[in-house]
Amino acid sequence: MHANAAAVSARHHWLPLVVVGLLMLFPLATTGFYLEFTSKVMILAIFALSLELLVGATGLVSLGHAAFYGIAAYATVLLSPMYGAAGVFWILPAAIACAALYAFCVGALALRTKGVYFIMVTLAFAQMAYYVFHDTKLGGGTDGIYLNFKPEVMLFGARIVDLGKPVAFYYVVLACLVLVFLFLAVLLESRFGRVLAGIRSNEQRMRAAGFATFPYKWAAFTLAGALAGLAGFLVAVKDGFVNPEMLSWHESGAVLLMLILGGMGRLSGAVLGAFAFALLQLFFQWDGVFGNFARHWPLMLGGTIILCVAFMPNGLIGLPGQWRAWRARKAAEAARG
């Protein structure tokens, strides 16, 4: 049991390093569509990691997480000057702050409810934000709005990176993904993170021990909103365009599906889920394989996810464990004869 656990944790250390190494080499192998696609998926992975902090780590299932992603994206566009580039060291914190502020307000109210009510309240707040952008002229209504100039990364008067270049942008996103992953990995092992794990397991017991759980959940909710805001900023810079669909419940549902697909309770599950989800989506949209039926890709994606939930209760990241458990069971049966 113990040796097994040690082996698992050793693999946990080298596997992410291999993945990061491959992602670093990827731009040498390809350009164009696949590079941009991978940038987008890494942004989604950051988004999924931010939700993992709520769902997997704290046990708070939110169905309104896209609001924070979308608000930061809109803030990036709306706070940028019309005829010139914004400095990234100003616009990035500003966009994250907008998302965090909304999360702070939503959390103050939503965290007073539990379970399915929490799901409904977070959804309601996200829909409110969605309709603000959808039905008012603030962000161009249903048409969305363009970001005319990508933010500039200036330090001491020199431009360090050009976010308009796909390869440079790719590495910036990869760096953000690694930093967010490491930050959350350290955070979840800290005293703060252990309290979140305790709340997930048994909130009442934590209160009896002397933890005022509300402020902890509130902080986690706000932080998750801020990290979703980072993803929203990156996607606004990448596409140079935002529209209300970014805040829709489809987006909130998709990021939740990424977690379910990848496996909850593990950070690597969120990243794996984001990649798996995006690749499945890409695959089912491929008319070279599915012909005209590729138009119905949501049907196939949905069916696949139902199958995954049925056969992989712990998600993709839980497959090795499931395989070991299955082999152990077979061995035990064989031993019994």
Partner 1 sequence: MADAAPLLRARSVTRRFGGLTAVSDVSLDLAEGEIHAVIGTNGAGKSTLINVLSGEIGITSGTVELLGNDVTKRSQPARAHAGLGRSYQRTTIFPRFTVFENCRLTAQATRQRPWNWWTAAASCKASTALAREALDRTGLAVIADRAAGLLSHGEKRQLEIAMCIATRPRVLLLDEPLAGMGAEETERMLGLLSGLKAGHAILLVEHDMDAVFRVSDRITVMVNGAVIASGVPAAVRADPEVQLAYLGEVNA
Query: Whose Cβ is closer to partner 1: residue 215's or residue 321's?
Result: 215
Is the CB of residue 297 less than 8 Å from the CB of residue 285? yes
Bridge-partner residues for 159, per DSSP?
154
| Residue 108 beta carbon to partner 1: minimum distance, rounded to whole angstroms | 17
Using CB under 8 A as the binding criterion, the count of chain residues that bind partner 1 stands at 27
| Cα 190 from Cα 184, distance rounded (Å) | 10
| 3-state SS class at 174 | helix
Contact with partner 1 (CB under 8 A) among 37, 104, 211, 241: 211
Which residue, 117 or 192, is less far from partner 1 as judged by CB?
Answer: 192
Among 108, 179, 190, 309, binds partner 1 (CB under 8 A): 190
DSSP 8-state symbol, 148? -
Alpha carbon 137 to its chain's center:
28
Q: Which is nearer to partner 1, 155 or 209 (CB)?
A: 209
- Does the protein bind partner 1 through residue 195 (CB under 8 A)? yes
Copy the structure tokens of residue 5.
């656990």
Give, in degrees to the nearest 5, the angle at Cα 331 between 328 and 333.
110
Nearest residue (CB) to partner 1, 210 versus 291: 210
Binding mask 212-251 for partner 1 (x = CB under 8 A): xx-xx--x--------------------------------
- Classify residue 252 as exposed, middle or buried by CB count within 10 Å of its CB (0-12, 13-18, 19+): buried
Q: What are residue 221's DSSP bridge partners?
A: none
CB of 9 to partner 1, least distance (A): 13
Indicate which single residue of 12, 205, 250, 330 sits in contact with partner 1 (rule: CB under 8 A).
205
Partners of 87 in beta bridges: 152
For residue 123, the minimal CB distance to partner 1 (Å) is 28
User: In whole angstroms, how large is the CA radius of gyration of the chain?
Assistant: 21
Binding site for partner 1 (CB under 8 A): 2, 186-187, 189-195, 197-198, 201-202, 204-213, 215-216, 219
